Structure 1
Amino acid sequence: MTDMEDTHFETGDSGASATFPMQCSALRKNGFVMLKGRPCKIVEMSTSKTGKHGHAKVHMVGIDIFNGKKYEDICPSTHNMDVPHVKREDYQLTDIDDGYLTLMADNGDLREDLKLPDGELGTQLRSDFDVGKELLCTVLKSCGEECVIAIKANTALDK
């Protein structure tokens, strides 16, 4: 008789990974890639041919999608790179309270856990909201992080 313990495995998460592998040569400009452990948008790519027995190398420059920092990496074109799963969602802005946004999803769910973005975007968002504009906030979500990356006028509400 076998013991049940032998075949029982503990799982730590749902199995959904924050990233997936993709061969370096298949990556494209304006796509996403993990550079130095951060989700980045590729802004520059160049491939260099190397010596007689070397491999072609891909030089990538990416901008962190959350903090705007620039990262660079060079890897052989045959190597796999991690590509982050990036999800975009639009939310209706309903309030700004103490530096946090109150956002409403399409299904009516409210969330109040996202900060007003820094820099020009935050300033623009605040001033548009203060003059009564109906705004949609585009939220980018990847690797357990989220932030507002863009705002636009909510034309769906205009009659």
Structure 2
Amino acid sequence: MSDEDHHFESKADAGASKTFPQQAGTVRKNGHIVIKGRPCKVVEVSTSKTGKHGHAKCHFVGIDIFSGKKVEDIVPSSHNCDVSLLTESGNTKDDLRLPTDDALLTQIKTGFAEGKDLIVTVMSAMGEEQICALKDIGPK
């Protein structure tokens, strides 16, 4: 035993991953994967036949769930790709940034100005969050 004091630094991150690996050949249309570092909804998947170099290839076309931009990637079907974890916790949030979509932003501001109760739908993936829809549930 030692008389030395040991100090351990605490880190805010518990080490939870924002993605998990999944074999490319098992990813399907309407799933969510990471393409070029962005969380995307898969809108098209096509698989080529095994070629002379050994691997069938999966061609993914995805839509970035935050920006709406189309993104593409080709991955060997036997290799892993990152799949984004999308969870629904139901916890109340009060630290969201307002959306950049002008129509949605106007609806939110108008609703609050009129004293309405609003429910916003928040999309969350890989540490990013964005208000993507609004529902008016009536006056306060």
TM-score by length of 1: 0.69
Query: Which amino acid in structure 2 is aligned with residue 74 of structure 1?
Result: I
- Which moves more between the two structures, 68-77 or 113-122? 113-122
The reply on whether 1:153 has 2:136 as its aligned counterpart is yes
| 1:22 to partner: Cα distance | 0.5
Residue deviations 1:10-35 (CA, integer Å, cap 9, x gap): 78531211111001011111111010
Are 2:117 and 1:134 equivalent residues in the alignment?
yes
- Aligned ranges 1:17-96 → 2 under 5 Å: 17-88=17-88
The answer as to whether partners of 2:96 and 2:130 remain within 8 angstroms in 1 is: no
Measured in 2, the distance between the counterparts of 1:128 and 1:44 equals 37
Using the TM superposition, give the Cα deviation of residue 133 of structure 1 relative to its aligned residue in structure 2, in angstroms.
4.8
Provide the identity percentage.
52
Normalized per residue, which structure has more strand? 1
The question of whether the paired residues in 2 share the 8 Å contact of 1:88 and 1:139 is answered with no
In the TM superposition, residue 9 of structure 1 has moved relative to its aligned partner by: 8.6
* Partner residue in 2 for 1:143: 126
TM-score by length of 2: 0.77
Kindly state the Cα deviation for residue 63 of structure 1 after the two structures are TM-superposed: 1.0
Give the letter aligned to residue 97 of structure 2: L
| 1:146, distance to aligned residue in structure 2 (A) | 0.5
Residues 113 and 121 from structure 1, CA distance in 2 versus in 1: closer, same or farther, beyond 3 angstroms? Answer: closer
Displacement of 1:150? 1.8
Displaced runs of 4 or more, over 6 A: 8-11
Give the letter aligned to residue 23 of structure 2. Q
Instruction: Report the Cα distance in structure 2 between the residues aligned to 1:151 and 1:77, rounded to whole angstroms.
Output: 38
TM superposition shift of 1:56 = 1.1
Determine the C-alpha separation between the residues in 2 that align with 1:120 and 1:89.
27
Unaligned runs of 5+ in 2: none
| DSSP 3-state at the match of 1:122 | helix
Q: Report the 3-state secondary structure (helix = DSSP H, G, I; strand = E; otherwise coil) of the residue aligned with 2:78.
A: coil
Tell me what 1:94 maps to: none
1:25 is paired with a residue whose SS is helix
Q: What residue is the counterpart of 1:111 in the other structure?
A: 94
SS in 2 for 1:114: coil
Gaps of at least 5 residues in structure 1 are: 92-104
- Offset of 1:54 from its aligned partner? 2.6
RMSD, aligned CA: 3.1
